[in-house]
């Protein structure tokens, strides 16, 4: 999931970024490690393969102190300090934190490689990788794989679009595949295959890994939200959703339609419960939908457009909030939008896309609400958990739980959402959870 979360209550005084080595990180386990795997399964030097998803919460306080909380055994460790952050995005391994200097990258040392019918889980030493320089708020879009492909970073202050090399990040280096200038501060860049697509506020253009324009552009007014699914890279536009697919890729050929590099690029890294469902023959091969395809909103729908796109990692159905009551669901396989009305105004909404079709949302009063996609029925609601919904408050989901941070209360709430909305745990993170990301997925 790639949506930004801003942290408003942070001073704007420029500070020097102090990068620190890991100070109390837990080493990779030895007792529960799995047998070694062949190269190309997401492994990197120095990482141990483990038997289950190494889920954790990466937290950064307003002053830049970073830490990680293991969700399985409850151990916590501080990792060092970055410049005071203003926003976070994550691909399930790396945390990308916007600062006054650019984007600070933290490697949680936890990730999953998805082979559709099985998964490989890895654990390594966490570390602060460094900072990608840039001006203004950053919008980050990630892909399926933490150790291959790229990550897109768009800087609103300069209008620059940067594609990072994920393999270099996994090796502890920040390497730009390309950096191009646009004439807008309201664009985005998202990885696709070895290259990326760039939305400049009016149209979307494909770029190669070397930064060369490819093919023809497609219209996209006021881009908002980008997410990589099993079917395609999807970008939200005023016209609807634009699907982008990598050349020669597709489910029918055994290659991921969005990643374009490996058929095993994922459904849901933390799953284990519904693994393999993305082998559904209904997935549309990219070879039948080359380049770009626009899926417009239904005629006469009467609802505002989606302002975000969010879902469980890699899953084909995603959700979008509207800024008011109700939310959109986009089934990328069926190329179909569905509007679900609600009584409450929703600030966050995430499609779980599990067998029951759960959708988890956070309303304006700080309640977590759980819906069923097919009927729109609300099946559970918590008491208010967060007193004030600022841009720093995030909602993330995995195959069993949802997580909401309460910066003012200094805790993270873990919610069981299967057919209900139950507070499972209240977690104390390694640092104040002013910004968080769930990792190990």
- pLDDT tens-digit profile of 392-435? 999 999 999 999 999 999 999 999 999 899 999 999 999 999 99
**Does some domain include residue 301?**
yes
Whether pLDDT at 276 is above 50:
no
**Does some domain include residue 159?**
yes
* Listed residue (70, 44, 56) closest to 169, CA to CA: 44
Count other C-beta atoms under 10 Å from residue 291's C-beta. Answer: 16
pTM, full prediction: 0.85
- Of 20-29, 134-143, 218-227, 333-342, least confident by mean pLDDT is 20-29
Q: Looking at residue 45, what is its pLDDT?
A: 79
Question: Can you tell me the mean pLDDT for 296-316?
Answer: 91
Q: Looking at residue 25, what is its pLDDT?
A: 40
* Count of domains for the chain: 1
> With contact defined as beta carbons under 8 Å apart, do 127 and 141 qualify?
no
Q: Tell which phi-psi region holds residue 45, choosing left (phi > 0), alpha (psi between -120 and 50) or beta.
A: beta
User: How far from 94 is each of 5, 150, 240, CA to CA, in Å?
Assistant: 15, 12, 29
In this predicted model, what pLDDT tens digit does every residue of 33-90 receive, in sequence order? 444 444 556 667 789 999 999 999 999 999 999 999 999 999 999 999 999 999 999 9
Task: Give percent of the chain above pLDDT 90.
Answer: 75
Mean pLDDT of the chain: 85
Domain range enclosing 416:
48-439
Whether pLDDT at 118 is above 50:
yes
Q: Looking at residue 326, what is its pLDDT?
A: 96
Backbone phi, psi, residue 275, to 5°: -60, 145
**Does some domain include residue 68?**
yes
Q: By CB neighbour count within 10 A (0-12 exposed, 13-18 middle, 19+ buried), where does 374 fall?
A: exposed
Domain CATH code at residue 209: 2.130.10.10
**Does some domain include residue 12?**
no
> With contact defined as beta carbons under 8 Å apart, do 19 and 102 qualify?
no
Residue with the larger pLDDT of the pair 127 and 262: 127
**Does some domain include residue 353?**
yes
**Does some domain include residue 262?**
yes
Using 50, 70 and 90 to split pLDDT, how confident is the model at 242?
very high
**Does some domain include residue 373?**
yes
Task: Give percent of the chain above pLDDT 70.
Answer: 80
Q: Looking at residue 271, what is its pLDDT?
A: 41
In this predicted model, what pLDDT tens digit does every residue of 327-352 receive, in sequence order? 999 999 999 999 999 999 999 999 99
Whether pLDDT at 370 is above 80:
yes
In the numeric block, which tokens belong to residue 280? 């559904």
Count other C-beta atoms under 10 Å from residue 341's C-beta. Answer: 11
Q: Looking at residue 44, what is its pLDDT?
A: 74
């Amino acid at each position: 999931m790639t949506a930004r979360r801003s942290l408003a209550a942070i001073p704007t005084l420029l500070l020097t970024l102090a990068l620190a080595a890991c100070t109390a990180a837990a080493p990779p386990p030895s007792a529960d490690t799995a047998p070694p795997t062949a190269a190309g399964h997401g492994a990197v030097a120095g990482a141990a393969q483990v038997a289950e998803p190494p889920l954790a919460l990466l937290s950064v306080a307003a002053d830049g102190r970073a830490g990680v909380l293991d969700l399985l055994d409850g151990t916590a460790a501080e990792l060092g300090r970055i410049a005071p952050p203003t926003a976070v995005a994550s691909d399930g391994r790396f945390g990308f934190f916007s600062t006054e200097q650019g984007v600070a990258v933290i490697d949680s040392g936890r990730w999953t490689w998805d082979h559709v019918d099985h998964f490989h889980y890895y654990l390594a030493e966490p570390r602060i990788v460094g900072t990608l320089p840039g001006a203004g708020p950053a919008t980050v879009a990630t892909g399926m794989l933490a150790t291959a492909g790229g990550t897109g970073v768009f800087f609103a202050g300069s209008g620059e679009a940067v594609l990072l090399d994920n393999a270099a990040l996994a090796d502890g280096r920040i390497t730009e595949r390309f950096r191009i200038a646009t004439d807008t501060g309201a664009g985005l860049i998202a990885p696709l295959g070895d290259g990326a697509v760039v939305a400049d506020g009016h149209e979307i253009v494909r770029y190669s890994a070397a930064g060369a324009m490819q093919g023809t552009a497609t219209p996209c007014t006021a881009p908002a939200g980008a997410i990589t699914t099993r079917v395609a890279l999807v970008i939200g536009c005023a016209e609807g959703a634009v699907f982008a697919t990598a050349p020669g890729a597709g489910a029918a050929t055994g290659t991921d339609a969005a990643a374009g590099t490996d058929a095993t690029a994922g459904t849901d890294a933390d799953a284990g419960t519904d693994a393999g469902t993305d082998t559904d023959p209904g997935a549309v091969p990219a070879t039948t939908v080359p380049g770009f395809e626009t899926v417009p909103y239904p005629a006469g729908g009467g609802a505002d457009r989606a302002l975000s796109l969010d879902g469980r990692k890699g899953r084909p159905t995603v959700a979008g909030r509207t800024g008011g009551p109700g939310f959109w669901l986009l089934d990328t396989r069926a190329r179909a939008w569905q509007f679900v009305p609600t009584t409450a105004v929703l600030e966050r909404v995430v499609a779980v896309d599990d067998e029951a079709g759960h959708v988890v949302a956070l309303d304006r009063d700080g309640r977590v609400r759980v819906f069923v996609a097919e009927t729109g029925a609300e099946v559970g609601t918590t008491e208010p958990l967060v007193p004030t919904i600022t841009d720093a408050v995030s909602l993330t989901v995995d195959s069993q739980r949802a997580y909401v941070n309460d910066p003012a209360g200094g805790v993270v709430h873990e919610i069981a959402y299967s057919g209900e909305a139950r507070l499972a745990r209240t977690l104390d993170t390694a640092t104040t959870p002013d910004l968080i990301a769930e990792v190990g997925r």
